[in-house]
Amino acid sequence: MLRWLAAAGFALVLCLSWACGESIGLGTAGTTLSVSATRGAAADSLIDSVQITVTKEDGTIIGSGAARFPAGVNTVPVQVTVTLSTQIEDVQVRVDLLSNGQIVFTRSTRVTIRRGESNDVSGVSPVAWDSLSPAAGPAPRFGAGMILGFNAPLRLVLFGGSVRNEPANDTWEYYAGSWHLVVTDSSPPARVFPVMVWDNYQAKVVLFGGGGVNGELNDTWTYDGVNWVRVATATSPPPRVGAAGMWGGVWKPGIGPVVVFGGGSGGGTLNDTWTFDGSNWTKVTVDSSPPPRMLHGMSWDPPTGAPYIVGGYDNGTVLSDRWILGPLGWRREVTPGGPGPLAGQAMVTDPVLNKVFVFGGANRDSILHETWSFDGAWSRLNTGGTHPPAGVGVAADVAAGGGSMAVFGGYTGTALRQDTWILGFDSKWTKLPDPSFPPARERAAVVTTPVGSASSPLGGAVLFGGMGATGTLLKDTWVFDGYGWVERKPVADPPARSDHALALDPVAGRVVLFGGLSPAPSADTWLFDGRTWTNPVTATAPGSRSGHAMVFDGERQEVVLFGGLGGSGTLSDTWTWKNGAWTSRVVTPSPPARSGHVMVYDAVRKRVMLFGGDGGSSLLGDTWEWNGTQWTAVTTTGAIPPRRAAGAVFDPVRKHLLVFGGQGASARLADTWELDGASWTQVDIGRRPAARAAAVMFNLPAMGRSFVFGGRDNGGVVGDMWSLR
């Protein structure tokens, strides 16, 4: 068990006492897994090989295999021999599809296998749903690991820490304005004060060591935004807790990018230096080294990019020395000033301001709340009187576009914290507020906006209107920027409506709205520039309608509209919007008349894809594509049920069309399907949104995620939000 106490004369004494752990030996009985890996026909030129990894529930790798896809062959069998310790065992099977050695698609599942038998693996899923509805967030804790990852705006990943005097192993992510619990197929064991680093080369979180339930740890794990995977390394640093690490790519590009120094082990402290290259650890031989320590701060030195250490704790002494790792070894950094003796502090380097920032920690007498910066000279910041409470063991990392530093939790000397703060570029602290969400609604419309757009400079989505829980038509405008939802208050806006359509016209830098029920079918066109809505006068326009679909055709640089429900029934006309004008496109053949269908632009195949809808007398499950001049029916395999009012996006990571939910023939649906251009595949896992129809769905490429908001489930209109990773 991990115990922490406040001892007389020193406010930060961490008493680490460990019970002895037991080990389990693996048997040698051979068992075969037969995994069938498939790539879609459209991916033939992209995906060239597959890697299979089989792990136990604790992350131990017990088997692996690989194969290449021959030209023109889209399914290959992979035989994997695994070693089991029991007759029957639950394992995780991960399937990575690769292009030129880079993972572009990942599927994973848990299966039960039997020793000495041949086991077939099927139904492997590449997706996971996370609920983004406002929640309490991580429990109060200290000593957690936290990083900013995945090159996304303020997407923080937090793991473990000490919760109620025990190490924890929960994973949380902060994005969309709040913390969200991440449910993964496997997870590192519980721990406190691990090393946690964002590896920009692998685009993964790296976690190493820490204090576990039964002692110090030296295992290595990576997190790709979907699952934790234990890395089987030939060598590893000795077990330790309270070490410090950083991404060393800014120091020496091309070397092992993760650098780790020091920590506590077996009642003492360490002063060794190690690097991790993504697959193995290497001990760094240096001519000189700082004295042993733990609970020190470590980041990169702004002028050189080299690892930079501040303070720490060793054998009853809180340290104040500072060290920089040079070409031959560590050297003492003696710049005047600075925070003095300090341990358990938060420390990061902001690449925007090119400064080191230090917050909190403890000296021998007290726990602190001071904020310091270093850019060649030390300065104690005047943060305006508003700051996080004094804290030790505060989790921290840079805050990307949101500011210089993000901190979470910590121990104040009397209580554990669970609040999140951002240090802005103006050196002022701001406590992140509880998230806001649009009111519950169905039959709204949403469109993704690119990075740099007026509506959302960091890229995001614009949502307008819909029907509220009481049946009231809405006319509010909301923008989601990856941080959270913000309601816009335009000078002018369209009349309230539902069942309308939105599309982005990036050429004009406008969001285009057309039609809908207001409450009668309408035929008006509106444009949103990020500040206000305008109603342009057009020479011609599509007829009044609702339940139509619109999407921007990136290849032809025009918005495409199809179908809907007009005054005389369902429609099958095609229109395009370009240069501020509507043009009717009379083409044969054409998809049958319909409403409630989905349309998505496939950026790989450079086609507008159309699926499903309500044909008036029956639901449809057909697939069509538009190439700018004609519609073509697509012959697909896979038994996706017909539906209307589904959500759909193009996922640029998977390079597939994704469809979620909708209204089926007899019930609302909760399934997720993907189309690779020729084949529909169901990709659900257990945890997912409730069955619903008339939700909105959008994808944010900068975050690598798709989102679903609102709709109507079996209990009525809802306002929850989910993320697909």
pLDDT in tens, 271-316: 999 999 888 999 988 888 999 999 999 998 888 888 999 999 999 8
> Which of 597, 516, 604 is closest to 551 using CA atoms?
597
In this prediction, residues 240-268 reach a mean pLDDT of 81
Please, what is the average pLDDT of the chain?
84
Spatial separation of the C-alpha atoms in residues 313 and 355, rounded to whole Å: 24
- Phi and psi at residue 317, in whole multiples of 5°? -115, 130
DSSP 458: E
Virtual torsion, Cα 414, 416, 420, 424, nearest 10 deg: 40
* pLDDT given for residue 84 in this prediction: 73
Q: Is 483 left (phi over 0), alpha (psi -120 to 50) or beta?
A: alpha
- The answer to whether the CB of 55 falls within 8 A of the CB of 230 is yes
- The answer to whether the CB of 618 falls within 8 A of the CB of 651 is no
Spatial separation of the C-alpha atoms in residues 663 and 619, rounded to whole Å: 9
With vertex at residue 338, the alpha carbon angle to CA 333 and CA 340, rounded to the nearest 5 degrees, is 95
Spatial separation of the C-alpha atoms in residues 587 and 368, rounded to whole Å: 71
DSSP 225: S
Spatial separation of the C-alpha atoms in residues 656 and 649, rounded to whole Å: 9
> Which of 104, 191, 194, 91 is closest to 147 using CA atoms?
194
- Phi and psi at residue 248, in whole multiples of 5°? -90, 5
Percent of the chain beyond pLDDT 70?
84
The answer, yes or no, to whether the previous bond of 307 is cis (omega within 30 of 0) is no
Asked if residue 220 has pLDDT above 50, the reply is yes
Token pair for 77? 């069998």
Neighbours of 675 (CB within 10 A): 25
* pLDDT given for residue 609 in this prediction: 97
- What type of residue is 722? W
Spatial separation of the C-alpha atoms in residues 318 and 320, rounded to whole Å: 7
> Which of 241, 238, 244 is closest to 259 using CA atoms?
244
Spatial separation of the C-alpha atoms in residues 628 and 608, rounded to whole Å: 8
> Strand, helix or coil at 248?
helix
Spatial separation of the C-alpha atoms in residues 193 and 197, rounded to whole Å: 12
Which H or E element spans position 614? strand 607-614
- The answer to whether the CB of 465 falls within 8 A of the CB of 446 is no
Token pair for 248? 């060393």
Per residue in 387-428, pLDDT tens? 999 889 998 888 766 678 999 999 998 888 989 999 988 889
Lowest mean pLDDT among 21-30, 71-80, 343-352, 494-503: 21-30
Sequence-distant (6+) residues with CB within 8 A of 162 are 2, 4, 141, 142, 143, 168, 192, 393, 416
DSSP 720: -
> Strand, helix or coil at 725?
coil
> Which of 16, 1, 11 is closest to 163 using CA atoms?
1
Per residue in 417-457, pLDDT tens? 989 999 988 889 998 877 778 999 999 999 998 755 555 54
- Phi and psi at residue 469, in whole multiples of 5°? -65, -25
Asked if residue 123 has pLDDT above 90, the reply is no
Beta-bridge partners for 478: 463, 487
Per residue in 464-502, pLDDT tens? 999 999 999 999 999 987 667 888 889 999 999 999 999
* pLDDT given for residue 6 in this prediction: 30
Spatial separation of the C-alpha atoms in residues 244 and 258, rounded to whole Å: 10
pTM of the entire predicted model: 0.64
